[in-house]
Amino acid sequence: MFTAFPKDVTGLRFCILDCRCIYYQRVFNNGNLDPQIGMYRDAEDGLCEICLARTKTWENRVIDENVAYNSKFQIETV
């Protein structure tokens, strides 16, 4: 998943909403979050009427939050 993002991105923050939509943001090397937020919803579920209505902010509907980090390590033997 990280190959699609520039090298300055070290993680992705996922917010799962009560309507089963997922909002995500890139996490940069310095820990800052990208101000641009993406949204994912399974195509089989169709459009989300709750998100389209925007009667509540999405932040108030978060039921779970996760951050996935791109990490690497190297093992050297002597």
pLDDT digit string (tens) for 17-67?
999 999 999 898 888 999 999 899 988 888 988 888 887 888 899 999 999
- pLDDT of 16 higher than 60: yes
The dihedrals phi and psi of 2, each to the nearest 5 degrees, come to -80, -10
The residues spanned by each domain of the chain are: 2-69
Q: For residue 77, list its beta bridge partners.
A: none
- Please report the pLDDT score of residue 36 as a whole number: 92
Two structure tokens written together for 50: 């709750």
Q: For residue 65, list its beta bridge partners.
A: 15
- pLDDT of 5 higher than 70: no
Two structure tokens written together for 26: 């890139």
First to last CA, the chain: 33
